[in-house]
Structure 1
Amino acid sequence: MKFHAYISKIRSFLSYKVFTALIYCLLALVLLLILYQNMKPETYDMEKFQVADKTIRSPKTIEDEMKTAEEREKAAEAVDKVYVFKKEMAQNRVSLLTSIFDFVSETNHESTQDGKEEDKKDKSKEVAIQDRLKVLKSKLTGNVSEDITDAISDSILISLLQANESDLETTKNVVIQHVESAMTEKIRDDGLNDAKKLVQKQIRSAGLPEPLEKAGEELGQYAIVPNDLYDPDLTEERKNQAMAEVEPVKILQGQIVVQEGHLIDRDTYRQLELLGLLKSNPTIKPLIGLVLFVALVIGVIYIYFSKVDLPEDKKQNYLLLSSFIFISSLVVMKIVGLIDVELNDIAFIFPAAMAPMLIKILMNERFALIMAILLAVCGSILFHDGIAGTINVEVAVYILFSGLAGVLFLSGHNERNHILRAGIFVSLINLLLILFLMLGGNGQYAPTEYLYYALYAVVSGLLSAVFTIGLIPFFEAGFGILSTMRLIELSSPNHPLLKKLLTETPGTYHHSVMVANLAESACEAIGANGLLARVGCYYHDIGKTKRPPFFIENQLNIENPHDQLPPETSRDIILAHTTDGAEELRKHKLPKEIVDIAEQHHGTSLLKFFYYKAKKENEKVTENEFRYPGPKPQTKEIAIISMADSVEAAVRSKTNPTPEEIRTLVHQIAQDKLLDGQFNECDLTLKEIEKVKKVFCETLNGIFHSRIEYPDIKQQKVIDGGTPN
């Protein structure tokens, strides 16, 4: 029993959705099992301060967040404090000193005007100076932006009040000059005392009178303040910028974490722990990542099949087929990856084009391209250069382009000899890819390595072709797939059934070829499978070989045997040719699609001639007794073959039919079948029926075109002036 027969049994117990979900679940589970070992990082039983017994490399690139934080902290600490030089502060301090001296002059001037009154009152000088001091301090407190009375002693202010106008002006100029000069330089908090001492020294050397010299020194020191000020916000901004400029510290994929024979210190142990390489602290991240990857792969396959316009059973069959080919290819990858050879990159010998070519032949080109992409991605994981969890981009590119080449070079040529030719082209593409990867990577290779890599490339392409040719029959038989190659083989006149049809029923054979021409052209016009229609037509009347003389196309120079039979007997003979044909085809193990064509090409049509003949003899006869057993056509191809069969027979019965007669016959036959409900169970549209009718008319007009009638030879001689013999 065929594999698809077992699947049909299982499917009969489950609904379509449940069975499909089961297939996806099994596919996902198998993918996880195959890929997990290549994604799971190897773990080691190691302790701190132990001597490593092997060299351990990082299986992935990962950021060392602790080291990164330490480096950023160092970068922030290395940033100096940011100071902002306030140039305007020099003028502010000069203005402050000017205001102080001006208030002193103003106070003295007011006291001079009030001096006569004071003398009249016989007030003492000391009382007068205290009054002026009080007035000056009130002015300084009320009119100056900062209260200097707390910083400047009363004795200094009294010295200023007691000075004459000339000395006061001189003191003012000296103090302002040296303060302004000092404030043009940057002064920070830590250099403030030095700046004040310098101003004090400069004022002291100016030669001011004794009382005013001390006052000038104190005022000068008071005026000196920091003008290069610390900016905490800008400093913080610079630190943040320095931290941001620090690149993350990463443990790179393939980097040696610990060398064999070296001590595992705390930092090394922490890195091993971070990478999940310790058995005491395993990580589940690779498993989570693999689950997401498998979900993505299953999602791609699901989306494709959800959009394919096929019957449910055929869609499930294709899903099973593609899953089996996919898993088989991954198993081959796994086996190749386990081969332990000294030569590098044994992965390049993998027959990458095999699965896409099989899918192209057995299903279609679109999914073959998708399969090439999926295999490339999975191959990048399975061929991981000995480091679990890594991605081999070179192998992915190689598998992808090799698979695409197999699909493209095989396109439109699915015969066995063309598969081998496609394999040779794939080998050439593989060679170019190998050279690109070797030369583009700037690697150093020995001449023997070039030779081995070239051998891998050629063997990969040839193995793809050989495996494809060898596996196609198993997939066709096991999954009941009718491929283009199989159809081409069935169309050969050397097939035993076609030989039998030709020798025993030559009229039927000719009729079948004519119907095949009509059906193929019509199917191609509406996008149906023209090759299936042609091959199906070759076998659709194979049941007539059981009783050849009872079918009109085989009645050459013999009396019609139906004239001697009752209509019921004739009916049974004619109606039986569909079931007899289906039985014969099943006996010779022809594909189900061909059997369906033989069984359904008449649908449940009425055998009108014998029905009306029987009706004349017995009024109680019903139409159902004279209808074909069916079923009605289930596909577009069978519906078109049904029309083509009737049209060809009807037009052949006419003598030199005109285009108008052909058009009328085609329209009438199509209309009768449509009204009789023969197309109710297939998805043939009215628009497509119109296209089919048009193609039928064009093809038949080409076959039954008008011919020139040449005159008789004797008559031609008379016309040319000769005499007949």
Structure 2
Amino acid sequence: MTKKPKSVKTWWNEIKQHRYIKSILVFLTAVFLYVMMLGNVIPEQLDIHLSDTAEEDIRSPITIENRQATEQLQSEAVDNVDPNYVLKQNYAETQGGRVNDIFELVIQVKKDQTTSESDSEEDEEEVDEEERLEESLNSVKDALSSGTSNQLSDETIITLLETSESQLVLAKEATSNTVFEVMSEQIEAGDLQEARDKVDGLINISTVSNRLRDAMVEVGQFAIIPNYVYDRDSTERLREEASENVEPVMIREGQLLVQQGDVINNEMYAQLKLVGLLDESLNFYPYIGLGLFVMIIMGMMLYFIQESNTTVKNNNSHFLMFILVFVIVTCLMKVTSYTELINIAGVGYVVPVAAGTMLLTLLLNTRIALFSSVLYAIVGTVLYSQDGASSFNVTYGFYLLVSSLAGALFLDTSNRITRLLKAGFLVACINVIAVLTLLFIKGLQHNWIEVGSHVASAAFSGIAAAILTIGLLPFFETGFSILSVSKLIELSNPNHPLLRKILTEAPGTYHHSVVVGNLAEAACERLGENGLLARVGAYYHDVGKTKRPHFFIENQLRQDNPHDKISPQLSTTIIISHPYDGADLLREYKMPKEIVDIAEQHHGTSLLKYFYHKANQDVEQPLPESQFRYPGPKPQNKVACIVAIADSVEAAVRSMSKPTPDKIEAMVNKIIKEKLEDGQFDESEITLRELNDIALSMLETLKGTFHQRIEYPDEMKKGGKEHDDTRGNHGRDEHTNK
């Protein structure tokens, strides 16, 4: 036997739910973003040479330091620092000490010579005077440093050696004092000779011979040295400080490097090369940076989707729809970014970015739309850098953020055309305010005609977003089977074929469903759930009764009850089948899954108490409850739980002969309690507090007058005692015993 080929619908459903489909979509979206933004980050390469005439203004795409210019300024600052000199006050004392040392040395040599002569024997020949003087001279010169001995003439040393000790002491004091006096003043290297000349004038002692005075002058002049000297350490420190105080020469992002019509000189050419506009080698950094930028965006997107409790997390179809809206908005921003190249002021503000958040608000929820606003703004900062020097245009990023946020916040759950247009008008107003804010902060450097162009573009953006949303919404709703507000409103139309079928074939069920819808909608809105979904789901929840309408009490009117003529087991089979008959019928009419689920789950696994007790009245061995329970599933969400409670409450209250507020309250609380104890809410996330709010909401709604029905006893008992349902109410499960 050949295997039957899968239908296109089955194949597509398998593809949508594939475990790797989300990863594939994320990868494709990342590639798409990378390609879309690549042209905005690749450095522009100019074909320009020295002495060429610039055909347009050229601005720097980056902020970078001009090291060559900075070093030149630092060199100039260092050169402007004069050498630092300091006055060495201690030099006067030091040099005076040197003078004393010279005289003391001469005195000591003379003493040594005298002692040597007295110790020699009497019969030794007398030493020649010249040899003795020569010996003394050599002794002095040997004791003196080479520098000193070279500076002092032999004549001066001999004169000192031939002078008496008393004269030497006098000469020492006079010469030392003269040196100290001269060096007490500031002596620069250039003024050294002038200072030495002062020694000759200051040494004026009449008690010494001219020869000794000349020797004193020579020693004094030798001792005079510059005391205002160059300080290398402090000079280097001052030059370092001067170099460090030079501000770096920066080429700022967006700075005008070459003006249109300028002839390219060496300085301009060097700057163009420095910022990479003339670099012919391939620079990989912008490509890597863009890759990291895309990774950040996709990471934010995946983290939000994973942490947010939305349908996008688990529903691949909704995720695909989210990605498609993102792609559409990105394409709109990319296309409109090129309008900046047109010489029309503010024309780039026409981008209808709010259409993306409007669509997401209507198709998914407001939370996703608000998050998408941030993504649009981040991506837009790059896409709108088309005609700018920078890779990020923060001005447009701010505008896109404000506009898209307004689209999400001003649009409620209603998608009537009038409401969409009103939201578009409000977005236009916000856009205009955002644009004026940007213009005023910059100092309004435009004339009023250009301001009007900015305002007109911003206003058009809001209206265009609303129109675009109206045009795209039906395609998304149809293509993704989205149960949007407009779809729910369409399904609530009484002229819908299924509602007309219920009305004509089971009028009692139709009336019951309308009241259940009222109860469920009010309760959902109290809990913050989708009230319109609850109402429409209630309208269709009993559509399965149209298959055998007369087996349900609300459609019997004055007819005999057919359950009186069949067994409880057969009655149970007929009653239990209606949720699943209704689900099949809804699927046949291609109704949304949410509506089908409500119809299939509104009885959960409840027990048909009446038929269960009736079947066990005349048997010895009690039949199992499982034969008289709905097969389920139990309600899977809060809306299904609310419809199930409203379904039971409506039928129970209508069956009361004389309903009073106290009796209605007791009945509502009893129904909720029994369902809770029976575990009908176990598979939903509904809480006890929410069940209490549901009860309060339904009590407020039950204000109408109900037509007469047989009142339900509290409990069905064996042996003809009290039971859940009377014979007049055959065919209703639980408190409603449908």
TM-score (norm 1): 0.81
Cα pair distance change 1:204/1:695, threshold 3 Å: closer
Report the more deviating stretch, 70-79 or 394-403: 70-79
Aligned residue identity for 1:198: E
| 1:8 corresponds to | 13
| 1:67 corresponds to | 68
Is residue 184 from structure 1 mapped to residue 185 from structure 2 by the alignment? yes
CA shift at 1:26, angstroms?
Answer: 0.7
CA shift at 1:597, angstroms?
Answer: 0.5
Aligned residue identity for 1:317: S
| 1:718 corresponds to | none
Q: Distance in 1 between matches of 2:422 and 2:582?
A: 38
| 1:352 corresponds to | 353
Aligned residue identity for 2:86: F
Alignment of 1:537-616 (within 5 A): 537-616=538-617
Is residue 285 from structure 1 mapped to residue 285 from structure 2 by the alignment? yes
Aligned sequence identity (%): 33
Is residue 217 from structure 1 mapped to residue 213 from structure 2 by the alignment? no
Residue-by-residue CA offset, 1:573-597 (whole Å, 9 max, x unaligned): 3223212322343344432111111
Aligned residue identity for 2:16: R
Work out whether residues 333 and 382 of structure 1, in 8 Å CA contact, stay in contact via their aligned partners in 2: yes
Cα pair distance change 1:95/1:254, threshold 3 Å: closer
| 2:735 corresponds to | none
Cα pair distance change 1:195/1:160, threshold 3 Å: farther
Alignment of 1:455-604 (within 5 A): 455-487=456-488, 490-491=491-492, 497-498=498-499, 501=502, 505=506, 507-516=508-517, 518-520=519-521, 523=524, 528-604=529-605
Alignment of 1:69-468 (within 5 A): 70-72=71-73, 74-75=75-76, 77-80=78-81, 82-97=83-98, 99-100=100-101, 103=104, 107=108, 152=152, 156-160=156-160, 162=163, 165=166, 168-169=169-170, 172-173=173-174, 176-182=177-183, 184-185=185-186, 187=188, 191=189, 194-206=190-202, 207=204, 209-232=210-233, 234-235=235-236, 238-239=239-240, 241-243=242-244, 245-250=246-251, 252-253=253-254, 255-257=256-258, 262=263, 271-277=271-277, 280-310=280-310, 314-339=314-339, 341-387=342-388, 390-411=391-412, 415-468=416-469
Cα pair distance change 1:135/1:647, threshold 3 Å: farther
Is residue 40 from structure 1 mapped to residue 36 from structure 2 by the alignment? no
Residue-by-residue CA offset, 1:539-595 (whole Å, 9 max, x unaligned): 322333444332223444443332233334433432232123223433444321111
| 1:695 corresponds to | 693
Cα pair distance change 1:25/1:183, threshold 3 Å: farther
Structure 1 segments unaligned to the other structure (5+ residues): 708-725
Residue-by-residue CA offset, 1:515-544 (whole Å, 9 max, x unaligned): 445545555566544443343223322333
Q: Secondary structure at the match of 1:205?
A: helix
Aligned residue identity for 1:632: K
CA shift at 1:434, angstroms?
Answer: 2.5
Aligned residue identity for 1:391: F
Work out whether residues 107 and 168 of structure 2, in 8 Å CA contact, stay in contact via their aligned partners in 1: no
CA shift at 1:5, angstroms?
Answer: 7.8
CA shift at 1:638, angstroms?
Answer: 1.6
Work out whether residues 257 and 268 of structure 2, in 8 Å CA contact, stay in contact via their aligned partners in 1: no
Cα pair distance change 1:123/1:525, threshold 3 Å: farther
Q: Distance in 2 between matches of 1:387 and 1:703?
A: 61
Q: Secondary structure at the match of 1:634?
A: coil
Work out whether residues 523 and 530 of structure 1, in 8 Å CA contact, stay in contact via their aligned partners in 2: yes
Q: Secondary structure at the match of 1:631?
A: coil
Aligned residue pairs total 689
Q: Distance in 2 between matches of 1:338 and 1:704?
A: 60
CA shift at 1:298, angstroms?
Answer: 0.8
Report the more deviating stretch, 277-286 or 370-379: 277-286
CA shift at 1:303, angstroms?
Answer: 0.9
CA shift at 1:655, angstroms?
Answer: 4.6
Work out whether residues 3 and 479 of structure 1, in 8 Å CA contact, stay in contact via their aligned partners in 2: no
Q: Distance in 1 between matches of 2:38 and 2:667?
A: 66
Report the more deviating stretch, 388-397 or 30-39: 388-397
Residue-by-residue CA offset, 1:659-680 (whole Å, 9 max, x unaligned): 8876776666556545655445
Cα pair distance change 1:313/1:496, threshold 3 Å: farther
Cα pair distance change 1:95/1:486, threshold 3 Å: farther
CA shift at 1:325, angstroms?
Answer: 0.9
Aligned residue identity for 1:645: D
| 2:714 corresponds to | none
Aligned residue identity for 1:197: Q
Q: Distance in 2 between matches of 1:558 and 1:31?
A: 68
Cα pair distance change 1:631/1:100, threshold 3 Å: same
Q: Secondary structure at the match of 1:85?
A: strand
Residue-by-residue CA offset, 1:500-524 (whole Å, 9 max, x unaligned): 5556545434543554455455555
Q: Secondary structure at the match of 1:606?
A: coil
1:636 equivalent among 638, 643, 653: 638
Work out whether residues 52 and 260 of structure 1, in 8 Å CA contact, stay in contact via their aligned partners in 2: yes
